[in-house]
């Protein structure tokens, strides 16, 4: 009754705020939070959001995986080295440790997360910690903890301290009953991996916190990401990274997906730029909180043909992993990203030929490109 009474008071005197063209009630989280013990009892907690002119203070979770170090580099160039704190539960290599602030942060430790946000005056979070599709299936209990319980901690901290929160989703958030070519932003999502289920959960929880508590939640569904300097963490699209290393070093590659498996892919610099752009987009430009982004779509066979243009002797063979193949066949072949393009001007730079040339240049193997073309 007491809570109901407080609710009525809050609602009647309340604040309404306009975002994305919609009016929503902004209610104090501490009255409504599902975990009241987490909400401070005194009135002294305050928003850490900074004025429009100050750069944000950014915290990256799970930052030592395939994407986090590159993201930290991009954000540090934009906002200043000291304003971007990279974190993980792993030990950073020396060059990462010396390239800017790094701290240990386990996303399952809620108290520690609050401490970090307060002590470092964090205003934006990029939440990258996760177990990916293949490793998630190999350790469902851990994937559930990290991808779901960890996300709850991040959502609560972000809402409590009025932060802007980016959580990446994935093509893995779709399932076999989703439209596959292309998959639109809004459609049936019934994934059958713990990874996919946890990412649909993240999309829905983030949007719920946005509508319910006014949390500035922003989410992009990434395709498979291809990078040269960092290795993938155990996903279904990993072959599209490994193939470049093996092509350059050995001239052969054994692929764990069938030759005809078509999946959406993106070069890392496009992915990281998209993530920064959606975080910087004015709220009124965002008609949604979760967007597909897309760049290219190819099969292992097509990728191999593109590599042969640079390395004529390159040979691909196939030894299909049934787990990864089943996952890949339930994912979209292509994403429809028209809403991202229209709302906040998303545009990819890298198509397949540019991706292949860039990756092989990194490995010092694109020398025969000119002759072959
Ligand atoms: N790499 C890709 O192709 C794609 C990635 N994404 C998403 O982007 C994000 C980053 O992906 P990647 O860098 O590729 O992942 P990754 O698997 O390479 O790295 C994840 C990091 O999370 C850390 N981590 C695990 N448990 C943790 C815990 N309890 N506390 C803190 N950190 C913990 C790991 O140590 C690891 O460094 C993930 O959320 C992933 O789902 C989405 C689609 C595609
Ligand atoms: C597409 C992803 O989310 C990731 N690379 C995976 O294959 O699990």
**Mean of the pLDDT values across residues 148-152?**
98
ipTM confidence: 0.99
Q: How far is the CA of 372 from the centre of ligand 1 (A)?
A: 37
Question: Residue 121 corresponds to which tokens in the numbers above?
Answer: 């005056």
The Cα–Cα gap between 135 and 340 comes to 30
Q: What is the pLDDT of residue 365?
A: 84
Through-space distance between the first and last CA atoms of the chain, rounded to whole angstroms:
75
Query: 15-19, 105-109, 232-236: lowest mean pLDDT where?
Result: 15-19
Sign of CA pseudo-dihedral 89, 191, 345, 219: negative
Whose Cα sits closest to atom 3 in ligand 2?
170
- What are residue 346's phi and psi, to 5 degrees? -60, 140
Q: Is 168 in the pocket of ligand 2 (CB under 6 A)?
A: no
Question: Residue 14 corresponds to which tokens in the numbers above?
Answer: 């309340």
Strands 216-222 and 124-127: unpaired
Strands 58-61 and 84-88: parallel
Whose Cα sits closest to atom 2 in ligand 1?
225
Ligand 1 atom closest to the Cα of residue 222 is 43
Q: How far is the CA of 9 from the centre of ligand 1 (A)?
A: 42
**Mean of the pLDDT values across residues 27-46?**
40
Could you write out the DSSP letters of every residue in 60-98? EESTTSTTHHHHHHHHHHHH-GGGEEEEESSPPPHHHHT
Looking at the annotation, which residues are catalytic?
195
State yes or no: cis peptide before 182, omega within 30 of 0. Answer: yes
Q: Is 133 in the pocket of ligand 2 (CB under 6 A)?
A: yes
The residues, any chain, with a CB within 8 Å of residue 119's CB and separated by 6 or more, are: none
The Cα–Cα gap between 214 and 196 comes to 25
pTM of the shown model: 0.89
Does residue 71 carry a pLDDT above 80? yes
| CB neighbour burial string for 148-168, b if at least 16 within 10 angstroms, e if fewer | bebbbbbbbbbbbbbbbbbbb
Ligand 1 atom closest to the Cα of residue 142 is 26
């Amino acid at each position: 009754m007491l809570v109901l009474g407080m609710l009525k008071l809050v609602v009647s005197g309340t604040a309404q705020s306009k975002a994305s063209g919609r009016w929503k009630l902004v209610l104090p989280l501490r009255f409504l939070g599902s975990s009241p013990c987490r909400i401070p009892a005194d009135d002294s907690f305050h928003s850490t959001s900074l004025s429009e002119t100050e750069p944000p203070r950014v915290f990256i979770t799970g930052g030592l995986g395939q994407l986090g170090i590159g993201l930290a580099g991009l954000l540090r160039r934009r906002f200043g080295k000291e304003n971007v704190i990279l974190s993980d539960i792993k030990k950073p290599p020396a060059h990462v440790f010396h390239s800017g602030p790094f701290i240990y942060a386990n996303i399952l430790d809620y108290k520690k997360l609050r401490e970090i946000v307060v002590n470092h005056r964090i205003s934006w979070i990029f939440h990258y910690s996760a177990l990916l599709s293949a490793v998630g299936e190999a350790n469902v209990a851990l994937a559930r903890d990290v991808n779901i319980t960890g996300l709850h901690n991040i959502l609560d901290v972000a809402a409590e301290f009025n932060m802007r929160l980016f959580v990446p989703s994935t093509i893995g958030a779709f399932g076999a009953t989703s439209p596959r070519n292309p998959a639109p932003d809004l459609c049936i999502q019934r994934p059958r991996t713990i990874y996919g289920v946890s990412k649909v959960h993240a999309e829905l929880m983030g949007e719920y916190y946005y509508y319910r508590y006014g949390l500035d939640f922003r989410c992009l569904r990434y395709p498979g990401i291809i990078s040269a300097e960092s290795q993938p963490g155990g996903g279904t699209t990993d072959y599209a990274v490994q193939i470049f290393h093996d092509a350059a070093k050995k001239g052969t590659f054994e692929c764990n997906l069938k030759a005809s498996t078509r999946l959406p892919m993106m070069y890392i610099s496009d992915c990281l730029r998209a993530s920064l752009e959606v975080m910087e987009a004015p709220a009124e430009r965002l008609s949604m909180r979760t967007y597909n982004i897309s760049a290219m779509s190819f099969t292992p066979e097509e990728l191999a043909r593109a590599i042969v243009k640079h390395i004529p002797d390159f040979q691909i063979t196939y030894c299909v992993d049934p787990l990864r193949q089943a996952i890949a066949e339930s994912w979209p072949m292509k994403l429809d990203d028209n809403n991202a393009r229209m709302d906040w001007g998303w545009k990819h730079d890298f198509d397949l030929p540019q991706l292949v040339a860039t990756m092989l240049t990194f490995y010092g193997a694109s020398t025969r490109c000119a002759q072959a073309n």
